[in-house]
Amino acid sequence: MDKSQQIGNQGLGGLAYTGSLDETLIRKRLSANKIGRSIKLFDSIDSTNKKAKKMAAKGAIEGSIIIANEQVEGKGRLGRTWVSKKDTGIWMSIILRPEFAPIHAAKLTVISALAVSQALYGMIGQRMLIKWPNDLVMNGRKICGILTGLSADRGKIHYAIVGIGINVSSRRGDFPPELAESASSILLETDRIVDRNELVAEILNSFEELYLQFTRTGDFTGHRAAYRELSVTLGKRVRVLRPEQEFEGLAIDLTDTCTLLVRQDDGRTREVLAGDVSIRGTGGYI
């Protein structure tokens, strides 16, 4: 059922406030069994990923969720900041204990991106697209970022933390000036107020399905196909920004381990493991 409201840009006023997260309301729509078995909800926290790490180190079970209405030290990759203003989005981390080898860890980022995109599509029929490796965008603006962290040694994952940040009802003034062009929210891009509790539940439902599909069968081909359909990166000319060297080329595919294959102008194909990729010729952030 689509309970989101269609609203015009003018009358937002206080309407964009969609209330606080509520475990009972999340559970009402949750059909996943494993993911979401434990939900720890905070009104304000430093970072859900930081908390998840501590809980995982103390033995928290797979599928535990840490979620907050506000993060005051939200983290992006490489020590960057993730803006997480109160009640405007979903700031959540999932604790996982996968039995696969660490080389497959980037699949968790892809699974998360697919889960977020599918969940929103199911609710309002609009798609978020995936910008490799960890962003979801609408109309070229970043709506969601994913941060996957790992504790592993000798080929074994002790635990993985998947952190998902989604701007749901943020308005322009909720972002600092330096993000004015690049960041946006579901509300700003679609004019829809999406219920955060329902979106959390739908993401967990999709995540569980995609996660179990892979962990039970070892088969990632369906996920890759879904990724290719939602990718804004594949088939585009990209600039790969890496500390040691920058280069340009054509993004040709996502590999089985979720690295990006880029064909340089001299015909050489390079595999990009992680890093920042900007898409050429689109202007703006992506």
Exposed e or buried b per residue across 136-154, where buried means at least 16 C-beta atoms within 10 angstroms of its C-beta: bbbebbbbbbbbbbbeeee
The residue whose Cβ lies closest to ligand BT5 is 145
Distance CA 29, CA 3 (A): 12
**Strand 65-71 and strand 39-45: pairing?**
parallel
Q: Give backbone dihedrals phi and psi of 253, rounded to 5 degrees, phi first.
A: -165, 165
Min dist CB 67 to ligand BT5, Å, is: 8
Minimum separation from the CB atom of position 74 to ligand BT5 (A): 4
Contact (Cβ atoms closer than 8 angstroms) between residue 215 and residue 100: yes
The residue among 99 and 174 lying less far from ligand BT5, judged by its C-beta, is: 174
Q: How far is the CB of 179 from ligand BT5 (least distance, A)?
A: 5
Q: Which is nearer to ligand BT5, 101 or 241 (CB)?
A: 241
User: Site for ligand BT5 (CB under 6 A): which residue of 36, 63, 98, 145?
Assistant: 145
> Is the torsion defined by CA of 284, 229, 149, 277 positive or negative?
negative
Give dist(CA 167, CA 184) in Å, integer. Answer: 7
Least distance to ligand BT5, CB of residue 85, Å: 8
- Closest to ligand BT5 by CB, 147 vs 226, is 147
> Considering only residues 77-96, where is the footprint of ligand BT5 by CB under 6 A?
77-78, 80-84, 91-93
In the complex, the residues that contact ligand BT5 under the rule CB under 6 A are 47-49, 71, 74-78, 80-84, 91-93, 134-135, 142, 145-147, 163-165, 167, 179, 183
